[in-house]
Amino acid sequence: MKAADYVSREQKYLAKNYKSFPFVLNKAEGVWLWDTDGKKYLDFVAAYSATSFGHLNQRIKDALIAQLDRMDVQARAFRHDRLGEFAEAICKLTGLDMMLPMNTGAEGVETGIKAARRWGVDVKGIQDGKQHIIACKNNFHGRTTTIIGLSSDADYRRGFGPFDNGSTLINYGDPAALEKAITPNTCAFLVEPIQGEGGILVPPKGYLKEVQAICKKHKVLLILDEVQTGMGRTGKDFAFQHEIDRPDGLILGKALGGGIYPVSAFLGTKEVMSVFDPGSHGSTFGGNAVASALAVEAISILKEEKLSERSAEMGEYLLRKLQSFNSPVIKEVRGRGLLIGLETNPAKIGAPQFCEKLLEKGVLSKDTHGTVVRFSPPLTIQKQEIDWGVDRVAEVLREIA
C-alpha cells in the first residue's frame, strides 16, 4: 500500500482530532523511525517524551516478554506480585510516600485533582463543593473534561463546557500571582515545572522554591505535573529536583511505561494519599502486572544507565549548538536537559513550516502552539546523532535566511 492509501483509509474511518503529517511510519529502532516508503527519520520528538529510552529498547522488550510469559491483567480485587514492587520503586525514586497507578497522563492529573479536593475537605476543612484549585495560563494537563476546564486554550474548550469547576488561572512563573489568587477554599496549586506544550517555557530560577513556600504558608498543596518533564527529561530524574526536596503531589506518565505501554501515577505524601479509600478511585488497567513490570524496568534503566545525567550532558550539548546559530530566523532557543524549544522569528517562518522543512530532510520535530519547534529526542541519543540533526537544522536555517 502507498502512503496515500493509508492516509485516505484513516480519513474515512478516523475522527479528525489530530492533524498528522501525510507520511506513514512503520518501523522504529532507537532514535530512528522509517516510513512506508523506506525513508529514515531522526526522532527529535520521542512521542512527546514517552519514548525517552529509545524506540523498542531491548530491556523494555525483554521485561515485557518475561512478564507475558508469567501473567497479564487481573482485577484489582486480586493482588499480584508486581504492583508493590512498582510502588516501592517509584516512591523511593521520587521521595514521595505513596502512589496510585493509572494509565494515561490525563488520568494521573485527574487523580491529583481528586486527591487535592478531598484533602481540602477532609484535612483542610473546606466545605465540600467549594474546593478551589489554582492552575496556570497556557498550561497543558491533558484533555479530559475536568482538565480542559483548567485550560486557557479556546480550541481545547470550544463546545465541551460547562466548566464550572471552581478554579483560577494565573500567569506562569509569577509567585506573587499565586499568593494573590489563594482563598481560604484553595486546596491546590497545579503546575508544570516547565510548560511543555505551552512552548518549552522555563520559569525564572527559584520559582518552584517560592511557590512551595507560599503553598506551605497558606496550607495549599503543591501538585506538580511531571508527565512530560519527569523520568530524566530535564537532566534530573524529576524537574522539581533542580529546586525543591519534594512536592505534596506528583503526576507522572509517558516514559514511566518504557514508551510502549501507557502507565501513569499520582504520588503524594502520606497525608494526601490517605484520602483515598476503597471505591473512591480506580482503573481496570491501572497498575496491572504488565504495566508494573514495565515501570519497574523503566526505573531501573533510568538509574543504571544514568539517563538523567546523560540528558543533562546531551541537552547542554544540543542547547549550545542551537544557541550558537546566529540566525535571523531564530528568536530564542531555551530549555533544560533534552527538553528544548526553538522559537522561530514569525516574520521569517512559523514553527509548523519549520518542522515541515526539517521533515523533508529526515528530522521529526513538532511545533507547540505554532511558534516553537520542540526538540525532545530519546535520552539515549548519541552525540553524532545530535550533530546529524543539528546539521539539518543548519540547512533549513540557511535556506530560509
Catalytically annotated residues: 140, 225, 254
Least distance to ligand PLP from the beta carbon of 323, Å?
Answer: 24
Least distance to ligand PLP from the beta carbon of 107, Å?
Answer: 7
Q: Evaluate whether 108 touches 227 at the Cβ level (below 8 Å).
A: yes
Give me the residues paired with residue 273 across strands.
none
Q: Which residue, 109 or 135, is less far from ligand PLP as judged by CB?
A: 109
Q: Evaluate whether 358 touches 374 at the Cβ level (below 8 Å).
A: no
Least distance to ligand PLP from the beta carbon of 87, Å?
Answer: 20
Q: Which residue, 196 or 286, is less far from ligand PLP as judged by CB?
A: 196
**Residues 222-251 contacting ligand PLP, CB under 6 A:** 225, 227-228
Q: Which residue, 48 or 207, is less far from ligand PLP as judged by CB?
A: 48
Q: Which window, 33-41, 156-164, 189-197, 313-321, contacts ligand PLP (CB under 6 A)?
A: 189-197
- The DSSP call for residue 292 is H
- Minimal CB distance to ligand PLP: which residue? 105
Under rule CB under 6 A, residue 172 binds ligand PLP? no
Least distance to ligand PLP from the beta carbon of 23, Å?
Answer: 22
Least distance to ligand PLP from the beta carbon of 308, Å?
Answer: 18
Cα–Cα distances in angstroms (integers) from residue 373 to residues 89, 311, 342, 359, 363, in the given order: 34, 19, 5, 12, 12
How many residues lie near ligand PLP (CB under 6 A)?
A: 15
CA distance 292 to 156: 32
Q: Which window, 100-108, 234-242, 307-315, 366-374, contacts ligand PLP (CB under 6 A)?
A: 100-108
CA distance 332 to 320: 12
Instruction: Candidates 197, 210, 237, 248: give the one binding ligand PLP (CB under 6 A).
Output: 197
**Residues 293-312 contacting ligand PLP, CB under 6 A:** none
Instruction: Candidates 30, 54, 149, 253: give the one binding ligand PLP (CB under 6 A).
Output: 253
Under rule CB under 6 A, residue 374 binds ligand PLP? no
Under rule CB under 6 A, residue 105 binds ligand PLP? yes
Q: Which residue, 143 or 361, is less far from ligand PLP as judged by CB?
A: 143
- The DSSP call for residue 214 is H
Least distance to ligand PLP from the beta carbon of 278, Å?
Answer: 25
Radius of gyration for the alpha carbons in the chain, expressed in angstroms and rounded? 21
Least distance to ligand PLP from the beta carbon of 77, Å?
Answer: 26
**Residues 135-154 contacting ligand PLP, CB under 6 A:** 140-142
DSSP string computed for 216-261: HHTT-EEEEE-TTTTTTTTSSSSGGGGT-S--SEEEE-GGGGTTSS
Q: Which residue, 124 or 366, is less far from ligand PLP as judged by CB?
A: 366
Instruction: Candidates 31, 33, 41, 48: give the one binding ligand PLP (CB under 6 A).
Output: 48
CA distance 400 to 173: 33
Look at residue 164 and give its three-state secondary structure. Answer: coil
Q: Which residue, 96 or 396, is less far from ligand PLP as judged by CB?
A: 96
Q: Which residue, 104 or 292, is less far from ligand PLP as judged by CB?
A: 104
Residue with cell 497558606: 218
- The DSSP call for residue 124 is S
Residues 6+ apart with CB under 8 A from 399: 357
Look at residue 197 and give its three-state secondary structure. Answer: coil
The verdict on whether omega for the bond into residue 162 sits within 30 degrees of 0, i.e. cis, is yes
Least distance to ligand PLP from the beta carbon of 54, Å?
Answer: 19
Under rule CB under 6 A, residue 196 binds ligand PLP? yes
CA distance 263 to 295: 7
How many C-beta atoms surround the C-beta of residue 367 within 10 A? Answer: 20
Under rule CB under 6 A, residue 106 binds ligand PLP? yes
Q: Which residue, 327 or 368, is less far from ligand PLP as judged by CB?
A: 368
Q: In sequence order, what E strands does 240-362 have?
A: 249-252, 264-268, 330-336, 339-344
Q: Evaluate whether 295 touches 86 at the Cβ level (below 8 Å).
A: yes
Helical axes 289-304 vs 307-323, angle rounded to 10°: 70
Query: Contact positions toward ligand PLP, by CB under 6 A?
Result: 48, 104-106, 109, 140-142, 192, 196-197, 225, 227-228, 253
